[in-house]
């Protein structure tokens, strides 16, 4: 199952081609599952019906790349809208009056 999910405020992006297995299956088939992981498969381990852990190849890049993190932002960026002033620069300019006093 391909699942790309970014939650509202706190939780992680889980990205992947992943198969869900239960903790019981993990316990009973540890060797076979580790062999499949070594071949590149990835598993989401469910405990009490909820994802409790991920089983991924040691060579896997654990962190998603920027392209995945920024997919929604890039989609929004592609829509034509007027650019907004950068608020960080605007705030600094407002506060930065001391330099003007010394000129």
Partner 1 sequence: MPLVYADSSVLFAWFHPHDEFSAVVDRAVQQASPDFVYWPFLRFELRHNLRLSRVDPDGEAAWRALRAAEKTASRLRWQSEVTADKMLDAAEELSADKSNKFDCGSADYLHVAAARRLNLLNGIDEFWTCDVAQAGLAKAVGLKTRLFELKRSVRSSTKAPPRTGQRP
CA nearest to 20, candidates 39, 48, 40, 1: 1
Triad 16, 3, 22: Cα angle to 5°: 80
Would you say 39 or 79 has its CB closer to partner 1? 79
Beta bridge partners of residue 17, listed in sequence order: 2
Phi-psi region of 43 (alpha: psi -120 to 50; beta: other; left: phi over 0): beta
Residues in contact with partner 1, shown as a per-residue x/- string from 10 to 49 under the rule CB under 8 A: xxxx------------------------------------
60 binds partner 1 (CB under 8 A): no
72 binds partner 1 (CB under 8 A): yes
Block residue for tokens 């932002």 = 73
58 binds partner 1 (CB under 8 A): no
81 binds partner 1 (CB under 8 A): yes
d(CA 1, CA 20): 9
96 binds partner 1 (CB under 8 A): yes
54 binds partner 1 (CB under 8 A): no
Per CB under 8 A, residues contacting partner 1 are 6-13, 62-66, 69-70, 72-77, 79, 81-89, 91-92, 95-96, 99, 102
């Amino acid at each position: 199952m391909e699942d790309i999910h970014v939650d509202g405020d706190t939780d992680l992006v889980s990205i992947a081609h992943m198969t869900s297995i239960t903790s019981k299956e993990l316990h009973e088939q540890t060797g076979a599952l580790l062999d499949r992981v070594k071949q590149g498969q990835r598993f989401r381990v469910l405990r009490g019906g909820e994802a409790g852990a991920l089983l991924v190849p040691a060579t896997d890049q654990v962190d998603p790349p920027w392209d995945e993190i920024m997919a929604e932002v890039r989609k929004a960026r592609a829509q034509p809208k007027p650019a907004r002033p950068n608020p960080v620069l605007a705030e600094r300019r407002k506060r930065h009056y001391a330099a003007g006093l010394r000129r």
